[in-house]
Chains A and B, each alone.
Chain A
Amino acid sequence: MNFLKRVFNSFAWQFGKYLFFVFIIIIILLLTGKGVFALESEQWTDGGLSSNITDNVVLSSESDYSYTDYSSNYIRNFVYTQINQAYYDSTLSEIDFYKQYNYVVFPLSSSTIRIYIQDYNILMDYQGLNPIEGNDTKFFFWNIYCSNYQANITTHYLNIGVFYNMYIDLNYNTESFTWSNYASLSNVYREYISSYATSGFPYSMNLKLYDSYNNNFAWVESFASEWISQFNYNFRWRDIGQFNFGYIYPIYYYGLMDFPTLSNVATPPTDNENGGSDSGGIDINETNNLIRDLIESGISNINSVLDELKSIKEIIAGGFRDILDWLNNSGDYSGISSIFEDFQQDEYGLQQFILLPLEFIQALSTEGCVSMSVELPYVDKTFYLPCMKSIYEQHFGSIYDMYLIISNVVITYWVGIKCYFLVRELVDPTIESIEVFDL
């Protein structure tokens, strides 16, 4: 009884109560997306690609990778060809044809893209400099966070394609929401070879686009200038080696290209607006009639889109996604790993014994999720233990997310309590003992 009384009267219990209430308040704010915990504009977003990225983490063969090209020439040739086919095919109406696709882009001119989104049945014009056209040079810069490191592999291959991630603000009566989708800039991938892969550190990769109208890309290694603004560019990637990349950091845009601006949201186009003169025989009037029908039906469906976006399920999912983004981005925190940046040791001699604790801490702070393979003696077999984090994320999903959140809170609370008592002893002039190591 006295023990319980001491526990309830202890500082840890009192302090823990306050921490618990603060934690509950933070969880409520995160779930409702209020206040500073909304994290919508400050955090990078992947434009809805997170699920695809997570899926791609575990892909190992090229055939598993599904990729759809929506680049300019492809759309110009393929979509218009399909329009003509649908036009002459009595068994498939044009609307049904469009509804086969979640997302279709019409490159009307060098400065206008017409977008049809099947999921929301919305059609709109996206006016501005088309990022996938033009001869000016465009620079991109991004970091890749490596979550898996295998010491025996010195060469890694990573193919990257660049996507243009667009954010569209829709206004309906007094309500508004932001919808985002992505389009491919190119189906050209770059093979990235790294011989100095170390997990925990982001890779800096640079891209220079020129004459992208013909889908010609030049990749540059050196990049020495400051980026002017973070812009909504993302890229999809796939791993063709045994090297798993866990997270993708925002791509920074640098260059002379103007930012596209949205105009004519859900506005029926006129016959004179059509710029697809090189469409190869497409009937302009029929196309505009089709577009007008789609817009009218799209406006009627905006309410349902708003209801869907405002559903509590999305809010909760967004709140947890913010937490996980913050947890994942905490890998960018270099306070611990920077201590061991210059830590080196010889492979020979007795240093290995003495410096092993340092090496262990360095590995913990830099390598993150690791896989391990051990050559078993006498049986000539390899015992392989994979990186479990990607497996957890793949098979346990939200349960693992909850585990991450709870474990972080518990560890933070534990460290806070221990630090408090440590500091309280330090500031007490009567206590001179040094707690060296009580692991």
Chain B
Amino acid sequence: MTVAHAFRSPVGAHVLLVDGSRIFDVDEATFAACARGDLPEALRDDGRPPFVTDEPLRPDSLRALSLTIAQGCNMSCGYCYADEGRFGAHARLMPAEVARRAAETFLARVPPGRDAVLGFMGGEPFLNAPVLRATTRHAARIARDRGVRLRFSVTTNATLLQEDDVALLGAHPFSVAVSLDGDRATNDRQRRLRGGRNAYDRILAGIDRLARATPRPRHLSLRATVTPRSGRLRDMLDAMLALKADAAGFAPVLVSPDPAQAFEAGDFQRFLAEMIDCGEQAKAVLLAGGRSRFSNFETALLEIHRGSHRPYPCGAAAGYASVGAEGDLYACHRAIGDPRFAIGSIDRGPDQAARERFLAERHVLRQAPCRDCWARFLCGGGCHQEVLARGRVGCDYVRGWLDFCLAAYAELSVRIPDFFADAEGHSATHSPEGAS
């Protein structure tokens, strides 16, 4: 049966056909019919093969690998899913040999001529800066020899950057995500250096060095982690956009060793209202011919424009894996050490059966509330790690935010079509988000 979600925007009435994420402008009568589940024949997919079936993905070679090179952090953020980078265990650094072999075995499997991404995560990756530098140079050489188009990413708190780190991030095609919790007040309340000192000025100094570097990183984004105790999002966003970064965005905490810092179902209402507030501001900037740089919003617009429809929330176990300090492979950097996410090791290679099992279990059409949700192929079922740890507490928020973004897309695609025409053919640069 064809499932539709009817929504309105300032430019009219629209219908999202859930399968294939196809959006149509419709008249009022069609809108009303769709809203009550009575699709006109012209919109029904009767007898057609669906875009997404319940058949799990059979994964090919990995295209993105992250190395958790430092399971430890110089900061002590109470909300950190990685438990200050230790993932519930002792702090430890990935040995150079493990990182080197991980990069080699990963790149050996990427077909020549294809794109690949090598990411560095933590903890704080620059606690293990020598390994980060050596691995980057080594991987870049292998990629060049093999004809693989390799890009890099790193998520860092930017407090430990040395001159040669900044030079490295500019010399190689790096996407750098800096964690910064918005304005000074919020950031210092939530994130302090070990020993309790304020970190804000040190983070800003790090960002400034990255932004001023020549060459500078190809993409520099800021990511604020939001807890129920965070300040007003709009203030946080404005504070971040005042810095010289290409983009800034938010991630709510769902899983935290300190439950008081994680979102409960009741917290999402305010969060949604504030996200929409930020989205409205970003929309106004786009309408005035500028770039909003609000990454949650712009990414959503471009994904909706493409008609993104995925039975998974992310590339975990499919094209993406993460390596723990000992060389074990996990489906996600957020789940290092979690046996449910174990998918082989760098020595034995990715465990195909484990990847397929993971993908079979995690398919969105196998998730009880998801398979009937209109947002299932935009959302993909929610972050695996959060869902397995917390269940799905933010679904109303996800739907509310998507509803806002769908309407904004419909409006902007009418009023500033060039924004989307420019984006066609360019995929947004995504860096895996992570601890730090």
Q: Are A and B a genuine interacting pair, yes or no? A: no
Please report A residues at the B interface, Cβ cutoff 8 Å: none
